[in-house]
Structure 1
Amino acid sequence: MRFTTKITASIALAVASFASVNTYAETIRVALGTQDTTINCSTGGLLIRELKLLEKYLPHEGKYKDATYDIQWKNFTSGAPLTNEMVAGKLDFGAMADFPGSFNGVAHEAAGKHSIFLSVLSGSIKGSGNGIVVPAASQVQSITELKGKTISVPFASTSHGMLLRAIKAQGWDLDKDVKIIAQAPEIAGSALKSNRIEAHADFVPFAELFPNRGFARKIYDGSQANAPTFHGTLVDAAYAEKYPEIVVAYLRAALEADRLIAAEPEKYSELIEKVTGIDAEVNYLFHGPLGLQTRDLTWKPEYRQALATAIDTLKLLKKTDQGLNIEKFINDKYIREAFKQSDLDYKKSLANYAQLPLNAKDAITGKPITDFKHVAQIWVRGEPLVRHYASFKDAVKVLKELESEGKDIRAIYAQASDSGIKLLANQAWFVESAQGQVDAFLLKEQAEAFAKSNSGTVRDFSSIRL
């Protein structure tokens, strides 16, 4: 009897062991929602998909030895419908900004579920990326002139949160001093072209894309609100608990995508344009050296605060009456493990706030560029790499020569002297000193203030070229 019991126990243990080893001897779904045109999500979606990086890192050992994967990608133009499909159980991962991301967490809680904010993908602790534009022919030069006017914005987006904070900073009454209407980016573009809207607030990349296409001017950058903003990736909490190795594999793929675009920003800006139609020049504006935002997968305190602010804004908009435990919602154990497996130092990256560095030589002198305050860049169509110049004044001289040779100029970039953000030079304002030094600014009023205190002359792009 005792012998029989031992045999039965041994068989049970063997069966349990066999079941454990072969737990995932079936097809595992990996369903990912991304926003291709929201280019700050590219390292968490588009590039991973197009370069098949997820397949490279998905586990095939241990309990995943016999697993096969059903990788499903679905593209969205905003975060709200993506969240709906996550809550409905149709997606496992989703990439979106802080504001819709906070709503993702609230929506899951309301459905008796949970989601986890895994990592940041790209962002700005100053708030750059969101912005306000007006029609190209508008006389409006700054947000202060929008009182009493109608401003459109994609509702429940991160730019909506930025707009509300900007209006609050002006001391305006939200119900009396401005009229805010809902308008998606694709509709806003047509409205701006035909002057059917007085101003439009939007998220990455539309506050730069519309001006780059010539039918709008940027009059406000999110950095003026000094409110951190970011895009990142979420996962269904139950999925992460069941398949933690898959979550880490996804994040390792995101880390590789980040490394690739940092090394060759022009190449991958072209790829993003090919897939999305978003101009490569605008992709480079964000993802290239000294870019408008930094690609950053670590949970900096400022990004944690951005989520808390987003929750407060949701309450203000009466989208929710409940809070969200940020410390529980953000779970950095997966991204820390992905860093470790990729031989990267998470703590070092967490402490790094620098823009992607510019390691380049001046295209005229051949000397390394060391002062980045007045740097300029020119992208000539047909050339695979952007040209770099230590002096904006020198770049303008070269620009004239290139145009006289019949070269097609894709873009010329400048760095704002006050905020340090990257600018499309043909949309910027400049101050020229008596010594010939040229400083760039986003807004005319910023240039005028600098000129007054530095005895300079304010010029627009047309006059600075003369």
Structure 2
Amino acid sequence: MKQPTARLASIVFAIAATVSGCSLESLSQSSGVVNVVVGYQSKTINTVTAGTLLRAQGYLEHRLADITTRTGTKYAVRWQDYDTGAPITAQMLAEKIDIGSMGDYPMLINGSKTQANPLAKTEIVSITGYNPKGALNMVVVKPDSSATTLADLAGTKVSASVGSAGHGTLMRALDRAGITGVEVLNQQPQIGASALESGQVQGLSQFVAWPGLLVFQGKAKLLYDGAELNLPTLHGVVVRRSYASAHPEVLGAFLQAQLDATDFLNDKPLEAARIVAQGSGLPQEVVYLYNGPGGTSFDTTLKPSLVEALKSDVPYLKSIGDFADLDVPAFVQDAPLRAVFAARGRDYNAARASGTNPSLLSGDPQLASELWLDGADSTQTVANPTSLLRAIRDATAHGSKVRAAFVPDTEFGTRWFADKAVWVQDGQTYLPFGTPAGAHRYLAAHPGSAAINYQEALGGSA
């Protein structure tokens, strides 16, 4: 819940600016109010702990209000919502955004473009969420597409936002598989979604939550899971160094607030998904797919594996455009986050060394599945996908309606919708796969197994 002090302060500042006809900048100059401009992406739900959830819960305003109580300095927070990281970078370059959150490739572009300007120069100060294998980016095709592998897109048009994590995943996957002849149309995610639906493009490669959203809506099916690359993908927070130097207490408050949001999400993922859904306009089921247990790892620490992943992204960025050399280790600065951990009595080094997702279902994380019945305030954890199918069948037989069910992909562990998975029967065991290609790889290695559809899997799981 938002803190009354923070809400009241925000309202007072807004009214003062309106009555006087001043901007927040001129208000700051005349009254000593410190402005904090935060750029975020409400629909990029792996940044919610530095964006949608953080904003909805009022954590930043509350932390700043605490500083006001101690020092008398007043703060005014402005939130600016964008579809991708590129406009946030443009605003930071113009010194109009102080703190921003975005994906891995956009963060590197941000660092490259801003480093020549001392007032705009940025640094990465925390991670919002990551996937150690790369499952945050996916390629989808129309539901009636005959494509079953990435190679089937050769000679076609694919929509992607050039310079985004989704574009990077597509280019790396095509290069690794030796696939040529794919024409990439540079489009914003929502434009690409419309282009896919209309047939202007034959595939769409994007970051979360677009692939899951389109599949959930029945407008697409999953063709390629970025986890197949087995390269970490991540989202994080960048800050202008000049702003952080001038107002270190603001950066400290932001990181404290981000930890507040991260703890809330990991402790109460279903409630957090509801709040994020309201703030982003996304279906709660889609938010929970990624933000629920076993989905994205929401961990703020700047892990060596993630820094290495950023370094490995640089050659791709240089290949697609004007990318100035960037000293990645110097771009990543965890001293402010370390200080915040210390202030809370937490062991930063231990958290940094941990590779375990802070939010997991009980049982074997490679098998544990989740059932969410319509009208229920909580979900049910089920030991494995076969047991989940039985639970779904039993629930529907007793008149219950399934709101959503989630399973881990058998091959990569990616959390996915049970009714959108490709199912394989192997004896009495039922195995879900995110993509047809994954199912085909299993079938080829396990003679006697058979591909079945979701309804057949439900009926056979007695």
TM-score (norm: length of structure 1): 0.87
> Residue 299 and residue 372 in structure 1: after superposition, are their counterparts in 2 closer, same or farther (change >3 A)?
closer
> Could you tell me which residue of structure 2 aligns to residue 342 of structure 1?
344
Counterpart among 214, 221, 226 of residue 210 in structure 1: 214
> Could you tell me which residue of structure 2 aligns to residue 34 of structure 1?
40
Q: Secondary structure at the match of 1:394?
A: helix
Cα displacement string for residues 388-442 of structure 1 (whole angstroms, at most 9, x for unaligned residues): 21132232233234334543322111112221111111221222222x1222222
Cα distance in 2 for residues equivalent to 1:129 and 1:309: 17
- How do residues 212-361 of structure 1 correspond to structure 2 at under 5 angstroms? 212-291=216-295, 293-320=296-323, 322-360=324-362
Counterpart among 406, 412, 418 of residue 419 in structure 1: 412
Cα distance in 2 for residues equivalent to 1:59 and 1:50: 16
Give the C-alpha shift of residue 73 in structure 1. Answer: 0.9
Cα distance in 1 for residues equivalent to 2:165 and 2:189: 13
Structure 2 unpaired stretches of 5+: 1-29
Counterpart among 91, 99, 108 of residue 97 in structure 2: 91
Give the C-alpha shift of residue 64 in structure 1. Answer: 6.6
Q: Does 1:402 find its partner at 2:406?
A: no
> Could you tell me which residue of structure 2 aligns to residue 48 of structure 1?
54
> Could you tell me which residue of structure 2 aligns to residue 165 of structure 1?
172
Counterpart among 68, 72, 77 of residue 66 in structure 1: 72
Q: Secondary structure at the match of 1:465?
A: helix
Counterpart among 139, 145, 163 of residue 138 in structure 1: 145
Give the C-alpha shift of residue 76 in structure 1. Answer: 0.8
2:142, 2:221 within 8 Å by CA — same for their partners in 1? yes
The residue type paired with residue 342 of structure 1 is R
Cα distance in 2 for residues equivalent to 1:384 and 1:63: 38
| CA-based RMSD | 2.0
Q: Secondary structure at the match of 1:180?
A: strand
Q: Does 1:77 find its partner at 2:83?
A: yes
Cα distance in 1 for residues equivalent to 2:426 and 2:179: 36
> Residue 114 and residue 442 in structure 1: after superposition, are their counterparts in 2 closer, same or farther (change >3 A)?
same
Give the C-alpha shift of residue 353 in structure 1. Answer: 1.0
Give the C-alpha shift of residue 60 in structure 1. Answer: 5.1
> Residue 310 and residue 59 in structure 1: after superposition, are their counterparts in 2 closer, same or farther (change >3 A)?
farther
Q: Secondary structure at the match of 2:371?
A: strand
> Could you tell me which residue of structure 2 aligns to residue 378 of structure 1?
371
Q: Larger Rg: 1 or 2?
A: 1
2:410, 2:433 within 8 Å by CA — same for their partners in 1? yes
> Residue 348 and residue 402 in structure 1: after superposition, are their counterparts in 2 closer, same or farther (change >3 A)?
same
Cα distance in 1 for residues equivalent to 2:216 and 2:226: 18
> Could you tell me which residue of structure 1 aligns to residue 127 of structure 2?
120
> Residue 407 and residue 233 in structure 1: after superposition, are their counterparts in 2 closer, same or farther (change >3 A)?
same
Q: Secondary structure at the match of 2:258?
A: helix
> Residue 376 and residue 36 in structure 1: after superposition, are their counterparts in 2 closer, same or farther (change >3 A)?
same
The residue type paired with residue 107 of structure 1 is K
Cα displacement string for residues 230-269 of structure 1 (whole angstroms, at most 9, x for unaligned residues): 1100110011112212211100110110110111111110
Cα distance in 2 for residues equivalent to 1:95 and 1:56: 20
> Could you tell me which residue of structure 2 aligns to residue 194 of structure 1?
198
Give the C-alpha shift of residue 171 in structure 1. Answer: 1.6
> Residue 63 and residue 425 in structure 1: after superposition, are their counterparts in 2 closer, same or farther (change >3 A)?
closer
Cα distance in 2 for residues equivalent to 1:99 and 1:107: 12
Deviates more, 1:150-159 or 1:35-44: 150-159
> Could you tell me which residue of structure 2 aligns to residue 147 of structure 1?
154
1:103, 1:311 within 8 Å by CA — same for their partners in 2? no
The residue type paired with residue 51 of structure 1 is Q
> Could you tell me which residue of structure 1 aligns to residue 114 of structure 2?
108
The residue type paired with residue 109 of structure 1 is Q
Deviates more, 1:151-160 or 1:436-445: 436-445
Q: Secondary structure at the match of 1:48?
A: helix
Give the C-alpha shift of residue 178 in structure 1. Answer: 1.1
Give the C-alpha shift of residue 48 in structure 1. Answer: 1.6
Give the C-alpha shift of residue 63 in structure 1. Answer: 11
Structure 1 unpaired stretches of 5+: 1-23, 361-369
Give the C-alpha shift of residue 384 in structure 1. Answer: 1.5
Give the C-alpha shift of residue 25 in structure 1. Answer: 8.7
1:25, 1:64 within 8 Å by CA — same for their partners in 2? no
The residue type paired with residue 352 of structure 2 is L
Q: Secondary structure at the match of 2:264?
A: helix
> Residue 227 and residue 392 in structure 1: after superposition, are their counterparts in 2 closer, same or farther (change >3 A)?
closer
Q: Secondary structure at the match of 1:294?
A: coil
Cα distance in 2 for residues equivalent to 1:376 and 1:121: 24
> Number of residues paired by the alignment?
428
Percent identity over the alignment?
27
2:42, 2:280 within 8 Å by CA — same for their partners in 1? yes
> Residue 61 and residue 449 in structure 1: after superposition, are their counterparts in 2 closer, same or farther (change >3 A)?
closer
1:59, 1:249 within 8 Å by CA — same for their partners in 2? no
Give the C-alpha shift of residue 343 in structure 1. Answer: 2.1
TM-score (norm: length of structure 2): 0.88
2:52, 2:280 within 8 Å by CA — same for their partners in 1? no
Cα distance in 2 for residues equivalent to 1:126 and 1:150: 26
Deviates more, 1:107-116 or 1:377-386: 107-116
